[in-house]
Structure 1
Amino acid sequence: MRIGLLTEGGYPYVSGDARLWCDRLVRGLGQHEFDIYALSRSERQEDEGWVPLPSQVSRVRTAPLWTAEDDGVGYGRRARRRFAECYGELAAVLCAGPSEEPSALEADRFGSALYGLAELARDEGGLVGALRSETAVRALEHAVRAPGAARTAREARVPDLLAVAAHLERALRPLSLDWYEDDGLGSVDLCHAASGGPAALPGLLARHFSDVPLLVTEYGVRLRTHYLSATDASPSVRSLLAAFHSRLAAEIYGRAALVTAGNTHARRWQERCGADRDKIRTVYPGMDAARFAEVGESPECADPDTLVWVGRIEPTKDLISLLHAFAEIRKEEPKTRLRIIGVAAGPEGAAYLGHCKALAAQLFPDEADGLHAVGDNPVSFGEIGGPEVPALADAYASGAVTVLSSVVEGFPISLVEAMFCGRATVSTDVGAVVEAIGGTGLVVPPRNPRALAEACVTLLRDPERRERLGAAARARALELFTVEQNITAFHGIYLEIVSRHPVRRVVLDDTTGEPLPFAVPAEAHLPGRWTDSGARVVARGGPGWAAGPPVRANTPLPATEGAR
């Protein structure tokens, strides 16, 4: 089958989010054909180029989400009236305020406004200029002043309205793309969005215009990320943007054929944000187990007196509690050492790392074994790639127990890596930690240094239990979290969606231009001579004039030419 893979700030860019799992998915499903539709987040990301693409990627189309040139489209009176009506309806829905369970009427109003704008963009050639116009700001102003508007919306001032209009213009840029014709997303059998939000919006429009089924995968719920960000904006701006993103998420979940979550924690968020429980499938992230095989098969190589922490250094990892817990551990087991291995995440992470190093120096003065020995600190900080830790597997090999002290966590990648290495773990009960480790590690409440210390001391004093837990953890990781299980799961989901939601296409005869009955047999999804046809294919619902090649802003490139 032909898959349209939709990404935003991710694959195929070198620095993209979810780059690894998308690349593994595409390479693992060599029997299918992939078209990549990618939205870039920055000019720097585009300059860094793409990862090498496999042969099953037939073409790549990209569009910048970080900028949009004025399309220069001049609207006539009727088009201006259509835009004012659709945008005004969208603004009215947002000003009604977000609710935990949006009514069917509100969902219909939002969907009608969104698809009305998409149809206008398709008919007129773009929406960029209109979304930046004074008409858009006046529509927002009218909506916030209308009777029945939410209190926080009524408090919006002109700067707030300008900020909301700018955000909506950026979020709705995919509506102006030329991806939705019958030789674009209209020609694929399935759209697979690698995340929610902007990445899923092209798939939503492909479903609207051509009835192409949509699959949405979220390893981190996009709506949750929005709720936790933009804290510096005014309450009015946050309220209106939260309303937009919650309505968009509900529309995406409602129109998607299936939604996949990376864990039960993400699944609960999806259900809370409007996803139908019967549509959700849990597909765990697939990780490369081979890189940890040597360490996992030799658990005796670990230092029995060393604790290891691995990850990105930032305040949510709560290394402060870990250091205080280690102080308690040293009282019970004086020979114990702690290795913190990772890099700081941005300026905030760098400042936090400096604070942690200062606290470690204060809590643990340098120690020496004798009068003539050089003292050192029992807490060490390092990075992967250095002389002491040349590879990621070496980080976990250096200690007998891996510790996670986070107060906020999605899917605990570092814990799963430790499980592949056959290490016993002590972790805080946050996010999907319990789901990931099952019964193969010890779990304590977050922000509780004493409980964390007691659990670590328990494992340090019981090597047989460490070995049993490590072996069970490795077996669990090999069963649930490998690349192979991830690819197998998505292959089954693809077949399930296509079998339940086949795309109905009309095949036109090259000679007469008339529709050919029974021209698309059931085996058309299988490669073979019966799929080689000179007839033109038009997706159901597509206009006849769209059968020819449309004018494009960027020409699709073959994978061999586009990879750089």
Structure 2
Amino acid sequence: MRIGLLTDGGYPYATGESRLWCDRLVRGLPQHEFDLYALSRSARQERQGWVRLPEGIGQVRTASLWASGAGLPQAGPPRGLTGRLATGLGRAYGRRERRRFTAHVTALVGAVCAGADMGAPDGTGAADRFAEGLYGLAELARECGGLPTALRSEATVRVLEAACRAPGAGRTVHRATVPDYLAFAVELERALRPLSLDWYDEDGLGAVDLCHAASGGTAALPGVLAKRFFGVPLLVTEHQVPLRTHYLAAPEASFRAPVRALLAHFHGRLAFEVYRQASVVTPGNTHVRRWQERCGADPATVRTVYPGMDAERFRAVGEGDDRGGPATLVWIGRMEPAKDLLALLHAFAEVRRAEPGTRLRVFGAPVEGEEGDGYRARCEALAAQLFPDEATDAHAVGDSPVTFEEIGGPEVPDLAEAYAAGGIVVLSSVVEGFPISLVEAMFCGRATVSTDVGAVVEVVGGTGLVVPPRNPRALADACIALLRDPERRARLGAAARARALELFTVEQNLAAFRGIYLDLVAHVPARWTAEAERAERTGPPRPFATPPEAHVLGQSPPAPVAPGASARVPSWAAAGAEAESVCAGARGAGSSDA
């Protein structure tokens, strides 16, 4: 089976989300051939290059979403092809094309500006108008050479202005000004850049049996168009919802409120159309599934598939490594505000008063930028304030109740050693998708105390303690309860490891997608490319590799014929003649007996 794997800011680049998951999928299903269609998110990501690709990769096409304007072909390892972005500069739009472009942009932008509930069909038919405009623009780009210049043109700005001032537009959108129109036009062109790529031909997405998008939104757009142009089924996998990520990031963006509202409406409409066209949607957990169904996904097409993780690296710890001591709490993750380490430190102060011998070891991965450095400094300052009479030096593990460490040193060389450093693993986040660190702790057989965010309850499933977020008192009480009950702590750790091995391994993830691939292709009519149809009409007959007669009981399969032995009768023809003579003899014998 030939699968088009669609990624956005991840695989095959060395950095990015879902990179490891995509690599495990490709390497774990070697019976399939994967073509990669990757969108990059930054120049830095491209400079860092690609990961080493396995043999199961057919061709690789890449395109940029970060570059302004043309988005030239991206340089990379000399493997496969790169995607070209047509800009519309090589051929000027004629009067007819301009009318078509204006009509399609008007339909799409009008649906975006309509003040309907995001992600759900409404009485005004905004979702259908959005789809009409989207596919009209895609067909125009395919015929006329791309949209980037046109989408940033004065014509688009005028359409935006008219749509924002039309009756039915939201109040926030109605306050938009010319700078807002210009800013949104730039973002709209970037989001719709996949429409202008040269991936939609018989050598590209038209040649695959299945499109698998590793994310929704813009990453899935090529799959949506492949379904429309070639009838290729689309599978969408989301370990987090792009629309939710956009909502969370919107307040931090530099845009004014009208632009943020327009972008939110656009991404909502796009999410609904992607889910409507997908044959199967596979969320990574129930938390994501609820978002998808609220955004328009048909529950009949949704199937939860947990992301697979490597359990082998934690096997030694999970099978009985208790050297960290039961009176040590461990926190592992990225040191950023969403992890709420400040609440954990306040909770640990309560734990320390109840159990004076307890320690807290914080293994924080560095976060790039001033925000990450500033947050770590705030956490260290709070620890010094809460424990003024005790050392908090990161290197004095035996002397301080709280230490801030990084994985990779002589004492803690790898991630498994960090989990082995304590008897209880704590997660204190206020925002969380799929809690990877929690699953790793479960593989290690550790009892866990977590906050009720994201998919935490679904992952833990009764094998750990879960408390409300932003509640240091509840977090402290749960930790104290496990510190004082070693038998319960051991039971929970063993149950957690068993649950993780059953649900969250790479093997179960690969088995699920292996079945989904076969099921999807089995329900899609066979498609013939133009090249295959031409070869079938003009080429020589193609015999079966193993003739059916070879399986008749009592007969040996004919010996294969060496290539070029044209003077001899082909083995499949000889087998057929032999079968016919046997049948004729049987018919003759039957008539004489009669």
On whether the aligned pair clears a TM of 0.5, the verdict is: yes
Match of 1:103 in 2: 122
* Aligned-residue offset at 1:506: 5.2
| Cα deviation 1:224-266 (Å, max 9, x = unaligned) | 0111112142221111111110010000000000000000000
What does residue range 208-287 of structure 1 map to in structure 2 within 5 Å?
208-231=228-251, 232=253, 233-287=255-309
What does residue range 507-526 of structure 1 map to in structure 2 within 5 Å?
none
* Aligned-residue offset at 1:387: 2.4
Match of 2:568 in 1: none
Matched, 1:360 2:383: yes
Matched, 1:450 2:473: yes
| Cα deviation 1:457-476 (Å, max 9, x = unaligned) | 11111111111111111111
Cα distance in 1 for residues equivalent to 2:535 and 2:508: 48
Identity %: 67
1:321 alignment partner AA: A
| Cα deviation 1:49-103 (Å, max 9, x = unaligned) | 1111111111111111111424413111111111111111111111112414322
1:407 alignment partner AA: V
Cα distance in 1 for residues equivalent to 2:177 and 2:158: 12
* Aligned-residue offset at 1:151: 1.8
SS, match of residue 334 in structure 2: coil
SS, match of residue 208 in structure 1: helix
2:477 alignment partner AA: E
Match of 1:290 in 2: 312
CA contact (8 A) 2:88 2:144 kept: no
1:434 to 450, 457, 460: 457
Distance verdict in 2 for CA 1:402–1:146, change over 3 Å = same
Distance verdict in 2 for CA 1:187–1:519, change over 3 Å = farther
2:59 alignment partner AA: R
Match of 1:407 in 2: 430
Matched, 1:205 2:221: no
Distance verdict in 2 for CA 1:512–1:309, change over 3 Å = closer
* Aligned-residue offset at 1:349: 2.2
TM-score (norm 2): 0.84
Match of 1:302 in 2: 324
CA contact (8 A) 2:207 2:529 kept: no
2:528 to 505, 526, 533: 505
Matched, 1:136 2:156: yes
SS, match of residue 282 in structure 1: coil
Distance verdict in 2 for CA 1:259–1:503, change over 3 Å = farther
SS, match of residue 309 in structure 1: strand
How many residue pairs are counted as aligned between the two chains? 518
| Cα deviation 1:437-460 (Å, max 9, x = unaligned) | 111101111111111111111111
Distance verdict in 2 for CA 1:519–1:93, change over 3 Å = farther
Cα distance in 2 for residues equivalent to 1:512 and 1:11: 35
Tell which has more relative contact order, 1 or 2 (C-alpha 8 A, sep 6+). Answer: 1
* Aligned-residue offset at 1:519: 9.7
Cα distance in 2 for residues equivalent to 1:374 and 1:264: 39
Cα distance in 2 for residues equivalent to 1:374 and 1:341: 12
Matched, 1:342 2:360: no
Instruction: Report which stretch shifted further, 299-308 or 487-496.
Output: 299-308
Matched, 1:33 2:51: no
Cα distance in 2 for residues equivalent to 1:374 and 1:148: 63
Cα distance in 1 for residues equivalent to 2:543 and 2:155: 46
Match of 1:190 in 2: 210
TM-score (norm 1): 0.88
Structure 1 unaligned residues grouped into runs of 5+:
524-528, 530-564
RMSD between superposed Cα atoms in Å: 2.2
CA contact (8 A) 1:366 1:375 kept: no
Distance verdict in 2 for CA 1:510–1:215, change over 3 Å = closer
Structure 2 unaligned residues grouped into runs of 5+:
71-86, 547-559, 561-594
1:127 to 147, 150, 155: 147
Instruction: Report which stretch shifted further, 496-505 or 170-179.
Output: 496-505
Cα distance in 2 for residues equivalent to 1:454 and 1:513: 73
* Aligned-residue offset at 1:397: 0.3
1:236 alignment partner AA: P
Cα distance in 2 for residues equivalent to 1:500 and 1:509: 21
Cα distance in 2 for residues equivalent to 1:374 and 1:280: 48
* Aligned-residue offset at 1:502: 3.6
Q: Which portions of structure 1, spanning 4 or more consecutive aligned residues, are displaced by more than 6 angstroms? A: 509-513, 518-521
Distance verdict in 2 for CA 1:375–1:497, change over 3 Å = closer
Distance verdict in 2 for CA 1:519–1:148, change over 3 Å = farther
1:486 to 509, 516, 522: 509
* Aligned-residue offset at 1:510: 7.8
Matched, 1:49 2:49: yes
| Cα deviation 1:275-325 (Å, max 9, x = unaligned) | 111111101011000110111112432311100000001111111111111
SS, match of residue 365 in structure 2: coil
What does residue range 142-181 of structure 1 map to in structure 2 within 5 Å?
142-181=162-201
Cα distance in 2 for residues equivalent to 1:513 and 1:392: 56
SS, match of residue 194 in structure 2: helix
Match of 2:137 in 1: 117
What does residue range 470-485 of structure 1 map to in structure 2 within 5 Å?
470-485=493-508
CA contact (8 A) 1:508 1:514 kept: no
1:328 alignment partner AA: E
1:304 alignment partner AA: P
CA contact (8 A) 1:200 1:216 kept: yes
CA contact (8 A) 1:190 1:212 kept: yes
CA contact (8 A) 1:86 1:116 kept: yes
Cα distance in 2 for residues equivalent to 1:135 and 1:188: 36
Match of 1:66 in 2: 66
CA contact (8 A) 1:312 1:343 kept: yes
1:243 alignment partner AA: H
CA contact (8 A) 1:400 1:424 kept: yes
Distance verdict in 2 for CA 1:520–1:283, change over 3 Å = farther
Distance verdict in 2 for CA 1:519–1:4, change over 3 Å = farther
Cα distance in 2 for residues equivalent to 1:374 and 1:399: 12
